[in-house]
Amino acid sequence: MLIKRPEYLGGVKPSDILSESVYENRRTFLKAAVAAGLIGTVLSTEAAESAQADLKYTKNKAFGADLKPNRYEEVTSYNNYYEFGTDKSDPAQNSGKFKPQPWKIKVSGEAEVTGDFSYEDIVKPHALEERIYRMRCVEAWSMVIPWVGFPLGDLLKRFKPTSKAKYVAFTTVNRPSEMPGLRYPVLEWPYVEGLRIDEAMNPLAIMAVGVFGKTLPNQNGAPIRLVTPWKYGFKGIKSIVEIRFTEKQPTTSWNRSAAREYGFYANVNPEVDHPRWSQAREQVIGNGLFAARQPTLMFNGYADQVASLYAGMDLRKNY
Amino acid sequence: MTRQQQIDRIYKPILFVFCLVPFLLTAAGAFGIAGQSLGVNPVEDILHSFGLWALRFLGLTLLVTPLRDVAGKPWLLSFRRMIGLYAFFYTLMHFMVWFALDREFNLAGVVEDVLKRPFITIGFAAFLMLIPLAVTSTNGMMRRLGRRWKKLHRLVYPIAILGVWHFYWLVKADVREPLMYAGIFALLLGWRVWKARQRRARAATA
């Protein structure tokens, strides 16, 4: 079956639309203008939105057609991306200097095809699709996000993982000059996340390159990030520069930081509480101050697609 | 007007309004009044804001006595009760927001949290310990309790420690801010230890 392959970014790269210096200057100007109070919040978010390039993609109605996404402003101003700071507003405020292009990803470990790949090498062979996914943070709040990306499994298969590839590990870029949060050892940098290979091959796992139909803003993990909607948000590693196939379970960042609180699997599970708070209910972002919390669903509502991955496992132990 | 009259009629009302500002701004944000708004996660916003103000007012309360001694201005003590009561007020608001908006009046959930989650246990303990201090803050109570009043109100020291500890345990990984509060509180409490030692040394030589 031949599906018409959408041209990458409609054949236009972000750098073609705006030269880097113009892009940079515009950001700096906007930031200064906002700081000076010349432009209100509404205008500045619109400007930020339009700074992202349009993507060419199809809407995959099989995923979340019934969900109502959060507002762009919510998705792009309330982020956990500690490399830019630990406050939710820090990533949007401190990521202006970050350069998501050009980009390279190193593929290594237990696979036949390894080496350095450009962003285009990685993304171009795949048809981009929009999927609307729930995102449940381990901090007990949630959003609905329209991602643009492609199945992770399709990408990983291209590297022909060997029979020894039991896990796949991902690493976030480590650029202290562009990422002010890296100055503080809040976590051990760079950020590392990982999946069991069968989890990675599950059709629900995607590599996202965009959100709301446009390229990812820096605070959301530009230019390419992982999205695993049945797991807590911290598994969705951002700005990936390395993909490593391993035989042993990789040591992941939050697990290393506090193993009792953050397991390797980190599957959304209302029955297994975080040691310091309940995971039974979640604060739905966008519902306002007086809205009731909603019950959290097993595997964040994706049990039909992923529960079989964990058949026979004690999820209280493997949290 | 005497100095005391100035304090009672002018400075205290001014301080009262000033201390209420964080509450008013938050309330305005909650109801979208006066161009104020809360963040993307408003419940968390209000909860953390009131919690932080509770700690700040607790710190300010503890600052009054050292400031009086260092600056040699005994009248500063006239403001301590109000600042202390504001520490209680913001703690109460912090608790109420948690109880009403976060736990949604679910008493069983509250009891479970208090028993099961150490950071809530100690925060709740600090809140409970503040109640007798607020109740006995009136002149009448001070007179009635006499010397025991001072003893009772030393509870503020463990309350301060529990409060910062509660903050420290709540944070996911970035403990810089709670450590900053811990440092300030350590200075304020350390100053008292140092003073008490000096007093004892003086008493011993006398």
All residues of chain A having their beta carbon less than 8 Å from the beta carbon of residue B118 are: 276
Chain B nearest-CA residue for A182: B174
pLDDT band at A292 (very low <50, low <70, confident <90, very high): confident
All residues of chain A having their beta carbon less than 8 Å from the beta carbon of residue B44 are: 141, 283
Residue type, A228: T
A window 17-46, beta carbon within 8 A of B: none
All residues of chain A having their beta carbon less than 8 Å from the beta carbon of residue B176 are: 184
Mean pLDDT of chain B: 94
Contact B39 A78 (CB under 8 A): yes
Closest in A257, A286, A289 to B38, CB measured = A289
Q: In 3D, which of A59, A223, A209, A79 has the Cα closest to residue A143?
A: A79
- The mean pLDDT of A150-173, rounded to a whole number, is 98
Please tell me if residue A275 touches chain B, with a CB cutoff of 8 Å: yes
pLDDT for A254? 96
A115 backbone dihedrals φ, ψ, rounded to 5°: 130, -170
Question: Contact, A146 vs A132, CB < 8 A?
Answer: yes
Please tell me if residue A141 touches chain B, with a CB cutoff of 8 Å: yes
Structure token pair of residue B91: 């703690």
This prediction's pTM: 0.84
pLDDT for A51? 79
B112-170 per-position pLDDT tens digit:
999 999 999 999 999 999 999 999 999 999 999 999 999 999 999 999 999 999 999 99
Angle at B187 between CA B185 and CA B193, to 5 degrees: 105
Mean pLDDT check: name the lowest of A27-41, A83-97, A220-234: A27-41
Q: In 3D, which of A174, A182, A166 has the Cα closest to residue A264?
A: A166
Show Cβ contacts of residue B9 under 8 Å, excluding neighbours closer than 6 positions: B1
Chain A nearest-CA residue for B30: A289
C-alpha pair distances (Å), A211 with each of A54, A75, A220, B11: 10, 9, 9, 54
Q: Are strands A167-172 and A240-246 parallel, antiparallel or unpaired?
A: antiparallel
pLDDT band at A50 (very low <50, low <70, confident <90, very high): low
Distance from CA of B77 to the nearest CA of A (A): 37
